[in-house]
Structure 1
C-alpha cells in the first residue's frame, strides 16, 4: 500500500535516472516520449481518444476514453493509483487500446476534484500531498467503489465502440488493486478478468478484506506484487492463492523481483521498465484469453 514508508523505500533505492511526475509530463509535452518510452508513444493513427464525463449516483466523474478507430472491442476499466488520473495513465490507456480494447481510465477522486489530484506545484511525496490524497481516499468506501464500477461499465456498455457480447476487464494500481476485486464480485457476469499491480491490502485479517469477495467472482486474475510490499505482508499472496483455489478460479499471483511499490506507471520514481513491461504482457495474455 502506498504510504510514507513505501516512499521512504523508494527514496533509499532511488535510481537517479528515473523520471518523476513532472519530468514525465514535460517529456510528453515536448514530444520526447517516443525516444524514452516508445511503448507508450501511441500514434493517433492507431487509436481515437477523448475526455468524457460519466454520470454516477455521486456526481459527474471525469475520465478518458480511448479505443481503436474501427470496430467493437472488449471493454476495460482502468483505475489509477493514489496519485489519480494524469498524463501517464492516459498514455497507458492508449497503449492498451492499441492492442484492441476500448479503455476507460477514470478519476477516482471526482467527488472532490476534477482533473489532476495534485496540482503541479505540490510535490509528491510531501506532507501536503499526503494530507490531500488521504482526504480523497477516505471517501472511497466499498459502497462508493462498487457504485462507481457499475456506473463506469454502464457508460462503457453504451459506447458504439464496445463489444458487449464478450467479457470485460478491470485494471487497478496501488489502492485500486482492491477496487478491481470488489468490482468483479459485484458484477460477476460482466467482468471476466481483473489485473492488479502493486495492489495494497488485497488480503488481510479483517472481515471486509477484498480476498473474501473472490468467492462471488467469475473473473480470472493477475496480481503482480511488488517485492517490498511482499516483504511487509508476506501472508497476502498465500491468502490470495487460497481464496482463488477455493473459488476454482484461474489466478496468477507473483512477486516481481527487484521491484518497489509503484513500479508500473512510467512517471513513478519506482518505475522498473523491464518488470513493468513483463507484467503488462501477462495482463494482455489474460485479457486475450478471457475477453472472448
Structure 2
C-alpha cells in the first residue's frame, strides 16, 4: 500500500476516480476481535438482533451484553461496510470486557444489514464499489442524521435491563464512524462519558460543520487513533484536534499508529501486497480503548 497516497479518508466522497489513487484507502472498521477473543476475555455474552425506532424509520441492530448483570452501555459506529460479522465480533469482545454494546446498521435508511458480509474482497479502485458506498455513507453523514440516530440509540440503551444507567455511555467508531462518534458525544453530552475514533475520516475539514469544531459541546473523555498514512495525507489534522479539545478543556488523547488506515479490523483486504489489518497495533488500540472506558464511564 502506498503510504503517501492522497486518497480521501473514509467519510469523504470520491467522485473523480481518474485522478485519485485509492490504493491507500481502506474504508474500514474497528478493533480486531473474534468470538474466541470474546470468550477468552472472561464474561459469557449473549447477542440479540433488535430494531430501534428513529425519526427516519426503523434501524436494525445487534445488542450484545454479558449474560447476567448490569454494565455501562456502549454504542459502536461501524465503518462504510456497515453491520457485519467483523463488527459483531468487536461488540462481542467488548461485551466480554463488561459492557452492554449496541452495534447498529448505520445504513438502515437505504437497506437492511448486511449490505456487505465482509470487506475482505474490496477493491478500492473499483468505480462500482464507490457507486455503492457513497450513497450509503451519505445517508448517515447527512446534516442531522447522526444526531437523530444517536438520540434514539442512547434512549434504547438506557431502556435495557442489561445497561447500568448510573454509568455514562461510551461510543466508538471506525473510519466514517469516527466523525459520528464526535457528533454523538456533542449531541448527547449529558450521557456520553467517553468517545474513541480509530482511523476516523473527515474529523478535521475546512467546512463550518467540521466535527472538530464541536469540541466545546463535549463532556467526555476522547481518544483519537490516527493511521500513519492518514497523518501523512493530512498532518495538520492531529494538531487541530489537540488544539481545539485543549481549548475546550476536554480531555483528549491523539496518537498516530504505525499502521495503515483501517488497521484495526480483521476482515480488511490486502492492498498492494500489504495487509491492512495489523494485529499488534490493533491490540495496542484495544488497550487504549479499554483504558478510556475505565476512566470515562463512571
Both proteins in one fold, TM over 0.5 = yes
Q: Is the 8 A contact 1:85 1:107 kept in 2?
A: yes
* 2:52 alignment partner in structure 1: 54
Q: Is the 8 A contact 2:264 2:277 kept in 1?
A: yes
Aligned-residue offset at 1:124? 1.7
Distance 1:39 1:58, change over 3 A: same
The counterpart of 1:99, out of the listed 97, 100, 115, is 97
The counterpart of 2:114, out of the listed 89, 113, 116, is 116
Q: Is the 8 A contact 2:178 2:203 kept in 1?
A: yes
Distance 1:119 1:132, change over 3 A: farther
**Partners of 1:218 and 1:121 in 2: CA distance:** 34
Aligned-residue offset at 1:142? 3.1
Aligned residues: 271
* 1:274 alignment partner in structure 2: 280
Structure 1 range deviating more: 159-168 or 128-137: 128-137
Equivalences for residues 156-235 of structure 1 within 5 A: 156-235=157-236
* 1:135 alignment partner in structure 2: 135
Distance 1:246 1:76, change over 3 A: same
- Is 1:265 aligned to 2:240, yes or no? no
Q: Is the 8 A contact 1:6 1:261 kept in 2?
A: no
Q: Is the 8 A contact 1:123 1:129 kept in 2?
A: no
**Partners of 1:102 and 1:209 in 2: CA distance:** 30
Distance 1:189 1:136, change over 3 A: same
TM-score (norm 2): 0.85
Aligned-residue offset at 1:123? 4.7
Deviation per CA, 1:216-255, whole angstroms, max 9, x where unpaired? 1001111000000000000100000001101111111000
Q: Is the 8 A contact 2:41 2:97 kept in 1?
A: no
**Partners of 1:44 and 1:278 in 2: CA distance:** 19
SS at match of 1:94: helix
Distance 1:157 1:120, change over 3 A: closer
Question: Over aligned residue pairs, what C-alpha RMSD do you find?
Answer: 2.5
Aligned-residue offset at 1:127? 2.2
Q: Is the 8 A contact 2:75 2:172 kept in 1?
A: yes
Distance 1:230 1:122, change over 3 A: closer
Gaps spanning 5+ residues in structure 2: where? 1-8, 270-275
Q: Is the 8 A contact 1:118 1:129 kept in 2?
A: no
**Partners of 2:119 and 2:66 in 1: CA distance:** 35
Structure with more contact order per residue of length (Cα contacts < 8 Å, sep ≥ 6): 2
Distance 1:43 1:182, change over 3 A: closer
Deviation per CA, 1:78-108, whole angstroms, max 9, x where unpaired? 0111111100010110000000000001110
Distance 1:6 1:236, change over 3 A: farther
* 2:273 alignment partner in structure 1: none
Equivalences for residues 34-73 of structure 1 within 5 A: 38-39=36-37, 46-73=44-71
**Partners of 2:201 and 2:21 in 1: CA distance:** 11
* 1:290 alignment partner in structure 2: 296
TM-score (norm 1): 0.86
